[in-house]
A and B are shown apart, each in its own frame.
Chain A
Amino acid sequence: MFHRLSPDDPPVEQMVQSHKLRPLELLPWLAIVGAYFAFPEYLSLGSQILLTVVFALSLDLILGYAGIITLGHSAFFGVGAYTAGIYALHISGEPLSGLVVAALAAGLVGLASGLVILRTHGLTLLMLTLAFLFLIHEIANKAGFITGGADGLQGIAMQEIFGQFRFDMFGRTAYVYSAVVLFIVWLFARLLVHSPFGRSLTGIRENVTRMHAIGTPVRRRLVIIYTISAMIAGIAGALLTHTTQFVGLNVLSFERSGEIVIMLILGGIGRLYGAFVGAAVFMIAQDELAKADPVFWYFWIGLLLVLIVMFARGGILGLVDQARRWLRRRV
């Protein structure tokens, strides 16, 4: 399931050089810029996809790299979304400061929950992530005087970015805004996973006993990456609030948590770009197919998951890898 080095790759070279930028990595960015010009009528869907990629990236850090299996990640997404909304409503409609505040709030919640639940593992950990998500959902539901409860937070008006760019109805500003934020997040994530810290996460995921044996502060690392991941998920949530100017309880839904895991698996976990591919493919397919037949969308997604687990554990990018290796052997 995780991205492993194959026997074909020259081992040490690969490890040492992996942080260098490869030309293939520019592909998603070309696509993002290109889409702006090629699909001007789909920009609102586009910005939703972009912020979902941010969310998926945050999940990849803990699921793909650190191996923490969670079904409750939308708790941090939701905290970020609500913080951004409350901030915009009561303090200032300025978007960039809203992003920062949301990230900090989500990070704080991530730190608190991480300290508490990362002592456990397996089913217990999974259960705790779920319980935590439902807890936050209930709190948001009940604290209607701040969060708007089941009716949602209404009346959010975002100011122009840098005083210049208004959030227009065609979603142009939202798209560029989300793309820029994604770029920064991606840069940061990329640096992180190629750093010694990031490598140690892979070690923890693969063989935690050995990591303990060589003296790695395992739990501390896990809490740190969990907090960072929560912050990034919070940023994604804030992006949703800024681009839609609304926050509803569904930012804290179990469905959203499940969907983001599916998207990441679809793209391929533990390789950052799985987030791009998975989120884009899933959301575009959902937009197209759900129109045609919403009931069977569920069926195909379920079937896809089952098939991926049984035959294509690396997701789409895993299949691409296999195809490339097969081609290389032929040539």
Chain B
Amino acid sequence: MRFWKSLIATAAVALVPLAASAQTVKIGIINTYSGPNATLGELIDKGFSLYIKEYSKNLPPGVKIELIKRDDTGPNPDVAKRLAQELITRDKVNMLAGVVWTPNAAAIAPLATEAKIPFMIMNAGTAAVSTMSPYIARVSFTLWQSSYPLGQWAAKNGIKRVYSAVSDYGPGHDTEAGFEKGFVDNGGQIVGKVRMPLANPDFIPFLQRAKDEKPDAVMVFVPAGRQATALMKAYSDLGLKEAGIKLIGPGDITTDEELPNMGDVALGVITMHHYSAAATRPANQAFVQAWKREYGANSTPAFMAVGAWDGMAAIFHAITEQKGRIDGDKTLAAWKGWKNDQSPRGPIMIDPETRDIVQNEYMREVKKVNGALANVEFETIPAVKDPWKVINNRK
């Protein structure tokens, strides 16, 4: 009996390649796996890996995905460009995806255009990135999306004078400009601005300046992660909370995976962002459960992971539509207007005109939930298109 079983099994295995015309879709992933910012890359990797694990059964029969991962080691545009070049010419990928840093995305953009390779951005958040190539679609966020409505909300909710302090790079500049536009247009007053160095900053002198101006709130943006924790410490050390100065900003300053490190000093900080791991919508609860099942009960997803998750979902959609035979222009057509109502962050869409993400933004406050710190959503601003592109009429 066993002999027959193994004979049939062998025959089946030998015949399967004939039966299904196997298609392998090669996706080149350019991510940051080493260096001080490796945690961002790790979350992104976990995000898309989890999606593939959960949904690869939904791919058309015979279609496989092959991921080729490359490490850009940080904001190193020359390395990123070379890696993209190699992925396209040597490994012959069908698509590119990933990219944490704006300068890296900018360096890769002309290659995507020249080679007609679809490029799915899972993180880089400067508003102009999606305009750099017609083959780019972004599924993560832009800083204007969170800072502009935040400015509007602040002006309408009793905050009249704000001091703005941002890190000195693309996303920081975007936050500063976006917040100011939303805030000032609604009657607010910016009493001072400062741009802080991106690398190794010491926040004390800058926050002291802010304290001097006696604003109602300090609006801050720093890269997510340990800089945000250092910022919280400085905010607490200088006694700004006691002086009645609130801390507000985009959600990068209170990301879910970093909150435990910040401690109680983060309580009461109000942010606006497109994702919070504490959100109670069913799609998110399912996502967080799957995450903890795969990565351990102590692990928390954060917005970078969701960007990667949804990015892979969009990629799957394009693959399914084309049945595994990937064409650059057809992929972009599949991405334009793609919707996902079951994203952990709520309903999202890729805008067919700008190829950028349209999503809900949530006002959140840091509170203690079940003994742990969490970003608790209290207000929703639905279907926010990138305000920078809307205001400046850019595609």
Contacts and interface: CB of A to CB of B under 8 A. Distances in A.
A48 B76 CA distance: 14
Contacts of A142: 168
B77 A246 contact: yes
Contact of A149 (B33, B73, B76, B168): B168
A296 to B, nearest CB: 11
B82 A45 contact: yes
Interface stretch (B18-26, B108-116, B235-243): B108-116
Contact of A294 (B34, B81, B85, B170): B34
A245 B33 contact: no
A322 interface: no
Contacts of B185: none
Interface in A247-302: 248-251, 290-291, 294-295
A141 B169 CA distance: 9
A44 to B, nearest CB: 5
B82 A151 contact: no
B71 interface: yes
B103 interface: yes
A290 B197 CA distance: 29
Contacts of A169: 85, 88-89, 111, 114-115
B106 interface: yes
A150 B223 CA distance: 13
Given A169-B88, A169-B89, A150 B198 contact: yes
B394 interface: no
B81 A244 contact: yes
A150 B75 contact: yes
Interface string B197-216: 11000000000000000000
A144 interface: yes
Given A169-B88, A169-B89, A290-B71, A246 B106 contact: yes
B106 A154 contact: yes
B385 to A, nearest CB: 23
B102 interface: yes
B356 to A, nearest CB: 18
Interface string A146-186: 00011110100000000000000111000000000000000
B131 to A, nearest CB: 11
A141 B114 CA distance: 30
A294 B89 contact: no
Interface residues of B, number: 32
A294 B71 contact: yes
Q: Number of contact residues on A: which range applies?
A: 20 to 34
A150 B86 contact: no
A141 B103 contact: no
Contact of B86 (A44, A151, A245, A246): A44
A321 interface: no
B107 interface: yes
Contacts of A149: 168-169
Given A150-B168, A244-B107, A294-B33, A250 B75 contact: yes
Contacts of A152: 77, 103, 106-107
A170 B88 CA distance: 9
Contact of B77 (A42, A138, A248): A248
A240 interface: yes
Given A246-B77, A246-B81, A151 B102 contact: yes
Interface in B327-355: none
B229 interface: no
Nearest to B170: A151
Contacts of A41: 86, 89-90
A151 B169 contact: yes
A150 B86 CA distance: 25
A248 B85 contact: no
A117 B106 CA distance: 37
Interface in B119-176: 126, 132, 168-170
Q: Which 10 A-B pairs have the closest CB atoms?
A: A150-B169, A294-B34, A152-B103, A248-B77, A41-B90, A151-B170, A246-B107, A244-B78, A154-B106, A246-B77
